[in-house]
Amino acid sequence: MKIVSSETVESTWKDLAELSVKDGLRHQEEFIQRQEPLAQFIQIMGEESLSSDAHGLATYVTLNLWQMFERASPTPLPPASPDEIMDAFENRERWVESFLDVEEEEIERWLRITSEMPQEHVTRYLIELLMEDCRDPDSIVNLTQEDVGELFLVLLAVIDVLDAKLQEAMREA
């Protein structure tokens, strides 16, 4: 199994954070062109389930996630199908539901052990972003607890989809 390295994760988010608006839009257009169903999923989930700030963050983080997996792949990632995306989302919904009767401390402890999750470095990036940066009172992004939970669910599904596409690209290379 190909793992996205911590170096790839860190260099990707730093590189994208430094892009000009014009270059950022170019990357976003490329993502939409190459992963249209995934871009549509984020758009629909944003409109249906997320605040404006959370939707914008979901779009930005998805672009980062896509670039992380692209950089780890020997070839461009194959596009995800709508069925693959919905299957990943529904699997993550069931996974989250399995925590409903678990104490909060146990959930937080388990989430810190991201090595139990696929693509541990990418997942750690997501958890750190949501748990630390987005709760910072000085952050320009204003998220509710519900936003954080929904973002986590949606973006874990994105990671699952992109991971499956990375593994597929590795088998075909």
* Mean pLDDT over the full length of the chain: 88
| pLDDT tier for residue 73 given thresholds of 50, 70 and 90 | very high
The three-point CA angle 22-27-61 to 5° equals: 110
- Tell me the two tokens of residue 142: 């204003």
Confidence at residue 114, expressed as pLDDT on a 0 to 100 scale:
47
**133 pLDDT more than 70:** no
Confidence at residue 143, expressed as pLDDT on a 0 to 100 scale:
82
Confidence at residue 113, expressed as pLDDT on a 0 to 100 scale:
54
Q: What is the mean pLDDT of residues 52-65?
A: 93
**129 pLDDT more than 50:** yes
Confidence at residue 90, expressed as pLDDT on a 0 to 100 scale:
96
**Angle between helix 145-172 and helix 120-131 axes, rounded to 10 deg:** 160
- What value does the CA radius of gyration of the chain take, rounded to a whole number of Å? 15
**Predicted confidence (pLDDT) per residue in 83-124, tens digit:** 999 999 999 998 878 767 767 676 666 665 544 567 989 998
d(CA 60, CA 56): 6
Is the pLDDT higher at 113 or at 127? Answer: 127
Report residue 100 CA to chain centroid gap. Answer: 22
